Amino acid sequence: MSQAMQATRVMSIKDALSEAIRDEMGRDDRVFVLGEDIQDPFGGPFQVTLGLTDLYGKRRVIETPISESGIIGTALGAALAGLRPIAEIMIIDFMGVCMDQVYNQAAKVRYMSGGQVSAPMVIRTESGAGGNFGAQHSQSLEAWMCHVPGLKVVMPSTAYDAKGLMLTAIRDEDPVVFIENFQLYWERGECPEGDYTVPLGEAAIRRGGMDCSIVAWGRLAPAAVAAAEELAAAGIDAEVIDPRTLVPLDYNTIIASVRKTGRLVVAHEAVRRGGYGAEIAATVQERAWDALKGPVLRVASENTPVPYSKPLEAEMLAQKKDIVAAVTAAVGKS
């Protein structure tokens, strides 16, 4: 059945991810999952793997010790042996514990073997603040992952993309870091039944516009759409682009949008300093300098550890109002 003909239903991002993993485990017996607390009755911290133990048993839903380096090392060994592991690192803050396995081992296998060996593995991890979880459980570290040659980095913001990108990631021949924003887990949207994939490196235009381009991902992608609707009421027509994947990144769609609007605001939840928005801003200014009517502006969270206090946490995080202010400034300055 073609994707256009598939029946759709409304479901949460959490359930779309769960369905993708469940279906792919049923389709391909090389696929298995491993991580902390992922077996029933817990199903992981946000229950994405809930129910998989009943379906596929403990040989394919593997409960691990609290050892992130052990989880990734085991997944890499399995991938090299011909399996397709989905390794869960509970929170992206904990990626530091296993980064040697990630950036020195998994990411370098294809290069160091001269293309003879690949590491088809998915590293699922949760990112983002807003849950009053404190400084060590609330970071957005996607720029760190993007800085490592050999890794692909995915950040979905809709149920449709979550399922389609997860299926693509599992079938990919290289390691994919699949970053899920916890605040979006319960966001609902239309999602096709059955099998379909979303290609890596193909952005989605969430809203068309002529006055300013907004590039935003993760939690700030739907916030950017909401900001654009608010701006429209004030007479500013903003275009919203959701990259969906950061590596590979769809620069063609971004550049085409900037050449149309002449302005760009890049928005992400990660802190401003060293954020991936700077990479996009620099590349746009290199490739589309002649089209820009003003400087590229960035919306990002404050350069501070995430506070435990909920009011302080909300104050330091990038929000819809910050996108509105940046676009208004971009249009007003040009």
User: Among 161, 192, 223, which residue terminates a domain?
Assistant: 192
Residue 218 and residue 173 in one domain: no
- Provide the CATH number for the domain around residue 233: 3.40.50.920
pLDDT by residue (tens digit) across 250-294?
999 999 999 999 999 999 999 999 999 999 999 999 999 999 999
- Which DSSP string do the residues of 69-137 spell out, in sequence order? HHHHHHHHHHHHTT-EEEEEESSGGGGGGGHIIIIIIGGGHHHHTTTS-----EEEEEE---SS--TTS
Kindly tell me if the per-residue pLDDT of 234 is higher than 60: yes
Residue 21: phi and psi, rounded to 5, are -65, -45
Distances (CA, A) of 244 to 25, 158, 159: 23, 9, 12
pLDDT by residue (tens digit) across 304-332?
999 999 999 999 999 999 999 999 999 99
Residue 326 and residue 214 in one domain: yes
Report the run of H or E that residue 214 belongs to, with start and end: strand 212-216
Residue 229 and residue 305 in one domain: yes
pLDDT by residue (tens digit) across 181-228?
999 999 999 999 999 999 999 999 999 999 999 999 999 999 999 999
Q: Quick check: is 252 in a domain?
A: yes
User: Among 164, 192, 220, which residue terminates a domain?
Assistant: 192
Residue 223 and residue 105 in one domain: no
User: Is residue 301 within 8 Å of 271, Cβ to Cβ?
Assistant: yes
Kindly tell me if the per-residue pLDDT of 129 is higher than 90: no
What's the average model confidence in pLDDT over 144-159?
98
User: 266 - beta bridge partners?
Assistant: 215, 298
Give the catalytic positions in this structure: 137
Residue 58 and residue 93 in one domain: yes
Residue 57 and residue 187 in one domain: yes
Q: Which domain holds residue 84?
A: 7-192
Kindly tell me if the per-residue pLDDT of 31 is higher than 80: yes
Pairing, β 245-247 against β 152-154: antiparallel
